[in-house]
Structure 1
Amino acid sequence: MKDFFTVIGGMGTMATESYVRILDQRTHAKKDQDYLDYIVVNHATVPDRTEYILDHSKPSFLPPLLEDIKQQSLLKPKFMVIICNTAHYFYQELQDATDIPIIHMPHLAVMTMKKQYPKAKKVGLIATKGTIADHIYEDEIKNAGFDLSLGDQAIQDEVESLIYDDVKGKGVADKDKYHSILKTMHDKFGCDVIVLGCTELSFAQEQAPDHEYDVIDAQSIIADVSIDLAKKVRNGEEIDFSKIY
């Protein structure tokens, strides 16, 4: 297969499945050949990202991801996407290991937010403790000129429950819990926009989009960008990856 892209996933599997489902649904294919060419690496046994970020004595998720990147680079995809926000903790190390462009999902999400909501002042971030601790989104949001709210411990506990107990643990999204989190971030903490900084939260958004709050869904955004880039690759267009943001 030529002119394809690679999806580094499995972190978690339900979130990766959500990305692939969105990707295929939005391609608007009328026949088999209209769909995109891609490889999905569902590396479910990658060590827990949050555990390592919070405690470096835990197994690191860098070695298996480096192995994935190097293996896929041998096949020469046109670009790669990593369907896990927290895994971008090692983004630079992973990009340095290959000459294949890796799309930076958190950066892409925040740059999209800046264009879509230029008048927003306070941005809420809901994510795993690992993503909060590694400051990937925090730095991106502040550098884009927004005030940031992380909510409080009660909200963090609800977010962790939604991610780990519901989506990862049961393969379902608790609609009421998800909507309650968004409402609290908006009403109590005054957030104009809420960034879904975990792909399990993107899964919840896919399953329960019927709410009134403005959210930035990094997985949805990278799916749209994947489609756009893949179609350009298929058409033989030259892509300047430094300008996609």
Structure 2
Amino acid sequence: MRHFFSIIGGMGTEATESYIHLLNERTPASNDQEYLNYILVNHATVPDRTDYILDNSKPSPLIPLMEDIKQQSQLNPDFFVIPCNTAHFFFEELQNATNVPILHMPKEAVKEIKIKYPNAKRIGLIATNGTIFDGIYDHEVQEAGYEIVKPTEHIQEETMELIYKYVKEKNEVNADLYHHILDEMQNELDSDVVILGCTELSVAEERASNHDFKVIDAQSVLVDRSIERALENRKKAID
């Protein structure tokens, strides 16, 4: 197979399924051959990213992720996508391990703010403890000229409950809790826009999008960039 991309997924599996669903749904295709060529690596046993970031004595996700990148690189994909925000803590190490470009999920999400919400100034972030702690989004948001708004301890506890207790553990979305978190970020912390910086939150948005809050769904943005890049590569191959 030529002109395909590789998806390093399974972090978690339901979030990866959401990415694949949106990818196929949004691809402009009217027959089988117009869909995109890709390889999905659903590496569900990659150690928890947040656990390691908060405690380096825990098993490292970098080792299996590095193995996946090196193995897939031998197949010569056009690019990689990693539909897990927290895994981008290891982005530089992973990119240095291959000549194949890796789409940078947080960078692409922040770029989308100017397109979708040009007047936004205060950018809220909800994500795992690992992403909040390691500042994956802080640099990108501030580099783009925005003020980043982190959740309070109470909101962070609610967010982790939504991510781990509901989406990861039960494959359920507590819509009321999700909407409550967005309300707190927007109306209590005065965020103009809220970035969904965890793919389990993207699952929540997919299943409970019946709200009026302004959000940037990082996984949704990654889907659009994946399609754009794949179609560009296909066109170049035909030309």
Per-residue deviation, 1:111? 1.4
Q: 2:4 is matched with which residue?
A: 4
Instruction: For residues 101-131 of structure 1, give each alpha carbon's deviation from its aligned partner in whole angstroms, at most 9, with x where no partner exists.
Output: 0000001111111332221121110000000
Per-residue deviation, 1:147? 1.4
Q: d(CA) in 2 for partners of 1:235 and 1:152? A: 46
Q: d(CA) in 2 for partners of 1:34 and 1:143? A: 37
Q: d(CA) in 1 for partners of 2:120 and 2:218? A: 17
Q: 1:112 is matched with which residue?
A: 112
The letter of the residue matching 1:130 is G
Matches within 5 A, 1:116-135: 116-135=116-135
Report the identity percentage: 56
Between stretches 23-32 and 34-43, larger displacement belongs to 23-32
Q: d(CA) in 1 for partners of 2:146 and 2:235? A: 37
Q: 2:235 is matched with which residue?
A: 235
Q: Give the number of aligned pairs.
A: 238
The letter of the residue matching 2:143 is N
User: Contact 2:113/2:120 (CA < 8 Å) preserved in 1?
Assistant: no
User: Contact 2:9/2:82 (CA < 8 Å) preserved in 1?
Assistant: yes
Q: 1:99 is matched with which residue?
A: 99
SS for the counterpart of 1:123 is strand
Instruction: For residues 46-82 of structure 1, give each alpha carbon's deviation from its aligned partner in whole angstroms, at most 9, with x where no partner exists.
Output: 0000000000000111010000000000000000000
The letter of the residue matching 1:48 is D
Per-residue deviation, 1:28? 3.1
Instruction: For residues 187-231 of structure 1, give each alpha carbon's deviation from its aligned partner in whole angstroms, at most 9, with x where no partner exists.
Output: 111111000000000111011111001100110001011111111
Matches within 5 A, 1:17-166: 17-166=17-166
User: Contact 1:114/1:144 (CA < 8 Å) preserved in 2?
Assistant: no
Structure 1 residues 30 and 219: alpha-carbon distance in aligned structure 2, compared to 1, 3 A threshold? same
User: Contact 1:85/1:106 (CA < 8 Å) preserved in 2?
Assistant: yes
Between stretches 137-146 and 56-65, larger displacement belongs to 137-146
Q: 1:192 is matched with which residue?
A: 192
Per-residue deviation, 1:34? 1.3
User: Contact 1:125/1:194 (CA < 8 Å) preserved in 2?
Assistant: yes
Q: d(CA) in 2 for partners of 1:31 and 1:114? A: 34
Over the residues paired in the alignment, what is the CA RMSD in angstroms? 1.1
Q: 1:242 is matched with which residue?
A: none
- Structure 1, unpaired ranges of 5+: 239-245
Per-residue deviation, 1:237? 5.8
Q: d(CA) in 1 for partners of 2:174 and 2:42? A: 24
Per-residue deviation, 1:158? 0.6
SS for the counterpart of 1:163 is helix
Q: 1:213 is matched with which residue?
A: 213
Q: 1:241 is matched with which residue?
A: none
Q: d(CA) in 1 for partners of 2:201 and 2:109? A: 14
Between stretches 106-115 and 87-96, larger displacement belongs to 106-115
The letter of the residue matching 2:81 is V
User: Contact 2:106/2:137 (CA < 8 Å) preserved in 1?
Assistant: yes
Q: d(CA) in 1 for partners of 2:68 and 2:45? A: 12
- Structure 2, unpaired ranges of 5+: none
TM-score (norm 2): 0.97
SS for the counterpart of 1:98 is coil
